Chain A
Amino acid sequence: MSISASTDAAVAAANIESRRRWQISYRRRRYLLVAPPMLVMIAFVVFGIFADVIAPGDPGQTHLLSRLEAPVFSGGTSEFPLGTDHVGRDIWTRVVHGARVSLIVVAIVVPGAALFGTVIGMFAGWRGGIVGQLLMRYVDVQLALPAILFAVLLGAVLGASLRNVILILLVWTWTVYARLIRAEVLSLKEREFVLASLAAGGSNWWIMRKQLLPNVFNTIVVIMTLEIPIVIVAEASLSFLGVGAPVEQATWGRMITEARNYLTHAWWVMWMPGLALMLVALSGNLVGDWLRDLLDPRLRNLG
């Protein structure tokens, strides 16, 4: 009896021990796995900031005698490491300068939208009232009007500019935060711990700060990471449709759209900006995933 009990205890202890060890190795594995995408994101930021140093040439410079030249690893010359496009522009230079445009857009749009959306969402969920109602109807309106159509309409009417693109994306992406945060707060405010705080005389501000915000923080981070690739892709999509940044600016979206006619006989013209776009968006996702696991409090308790 006592022997079997102690064996059970020993087995349980061993289980816990092996589980803990497995979890530590899982964490360590995550660090290793997140390193490459982290490096890509750092490279993206560095390329964006130091575009002029890394690729000093003019991204708009044409070389009419060297049109559609293959990249260096596919039989081309080192003069154009990633080849040239249909008017002989250096694809390497254009891809690097395209990173700058994407970086500027993300750096302004994602934090700005998160801040604004969270404030509105928490207010609408907690206080509601007529103002909260109106705000949420406004969110509905924004969601009802596809951003891309609105952006194309505005772009066609106003003319293409980077400032307009940033403004449109900022105004349009905050609604996602507002809607999800509000939904979470609506559910949270019916929970016992919030009711208890209210009963104990907790002020609105205190409850929002100490109980609601920590509970929705995870959601904010997850949405922000989801939004980084979405914003990059949205900017590229607008450029692809021809209403993003102005023509003289090298953007990945515009490069892809211009390359469409050369799909069959000069694959690199489309693939270079496309791969850059995909790599950065992919890495943003992986880094965000890792960050989510790191910040999730319940997951932290497990580890």
Chain B
Amino acid sequence: MQFANLLVIRLIQTILVIWVVVSIVFVISRLIGNPETSLMPWDATNEDYERIREKLGLNDPMIVQYGRFLGDALQGDLGFSYHRTGPALDIVADKVLGTVKLTAAGLVVALGLGVPLGVFAALRRGSPLDWLARLVAVFGQATPSFWLGLMLIFFLATRVSWFPTAGAEGFRSLVLPAIALGLLSAAGFMRLTRSGMIDVMNTDFIRTARAKGLNERTVILRHGLRHALIPVMTILGIELGRLIAGSVIIEVVFSWPGIGRLMIESILQSDYPTVQAGLVVIAASITLGNLIVDMTYRVIDPRIRMAAL
């Protein structure tokens, strides 16, 4: 199958994924939750409740509400926020940049630390460097991001004031959240790269590459790493999702203005339109990320045939 055809199919699938996400959120928030109770003052009468239900269209049958919701969503209208002023999508869009910045910084920390450390650790197996790398990786893996964030705040923001404890002003305020967010993924990349490199360096084709006289650098980078990166690529999409999901808790720890913090606030306020808009944006970015990753590891490992979706 042509690469382009495959891409189109996967794009359609991505849209379907987003539709399912929207539907799941609709079911959870509308079928199980009662958005109107969170909107009303404590002394509201039954008539008040009836009025607001009518106004929001919550009295219509679920299927009608769902149809209306999907129709609006197709036109880019995800409703107005219950608690803030303005369309939910605009409110979320305001926060996108904050989350993108944080996630990108986290990914830079994760890959920039994880892959090189993994390669070095695998090549110098059992050496002090290997132990150091694994120590860093194990600590990164073992430390919950919010706990790491709090420790960073404790040591670097309250004991010494090198970095601000919270907020988003300038590069310095990005450093601690990025480390807190990225270290877990860095540890995962490091472990996978290391175990992949160890496995691949024992294989026949590496022996062949060496036997035909390639220099060690080419053997490692072109033959070894390329192969060892397959599991890393596979997990990259998941890790990207984890980073975006992880940014939620990091945004709460560091009071970082992003989609995650907005959504946690909105969920606790039962502001469902904002929650839905936030989830659609997050789901879309993660599935697109997965799509790109999927396409890339098809290029790296030709054994996965194009037809095998």
Contact = CB atoms under 8 A, between A and B. Distances in A.
Interface of A: 26, 128, 133, 137-138, 140-141, 143-150, 152-154, 156-158, 176, 179-180, 183, 186-187, 190-191, 222, 226, 229, 233, 236-237, 240-241, 256, 260, 263-264, 267, 270, 274, 277-278, 281-282, 284-286, 289, 292, 298-299
| Residue of B18, B24, B150 ringed by the most chain A CB atoms within 10 A | B150
A233 to B, nearest CB: 4
Given A153-B25, A176-B238, A260-B150, A144 B138 contact: no
Contact of B24 (A145, A191, A236): A145
A138 to B, nearest CB: 8
Given A144-B287, A278-B147, A149 B252 contact: no
A222 B195 contact: yes
A162 B237 CA distance: 29
B144 A187 contact: no
Contacts of A229: 141-142
| Residue of A156, A157, A233 ringed by the most chain B CB atoms within 10 A | A156
Contact of B241 (A146, A180, A241, A270): A146
29 contacts: A143-B238, A144-B18, A144-B287, A145-B25, A146-B245, A146-B282, A149-B267, A153-B28, A153-B275, A156-B270, A180-B234, A183-B297, A187-B230, A187-B301, A190-B304, A191-B303, A226-B191, A236-B146, A237-B144, A256-B146, A263-B154, A270-B154, A277-B144, A281-B141, A281-B143, A284-B142, A285-B141, A285-B142, A286-B138
A232 to B, nearest CB: 8
Contact of B32 (A158, A240, A241, A264): A158
A264 B28 CA distance: 40
Interface string B132-162: 0010001101111111001101100010000
A141 B32 CA distance: 20
B235 interface: yes
Nearest to B187: A285
Contacts of A149: 245, 248, 260, 263, 267, 278-279, 282
Interface residues of B, number: 68
Nearest to A232: B144
A237 B248 CA distance: 11
B282 A241 contact: no
Nearest to A156: B267
B46 interface: no
Given A146-B244, A298-B199, A274 B249 contact: no
B126 A26 contact: yes
B202 A241 contact: no
B25 A137 contact: no
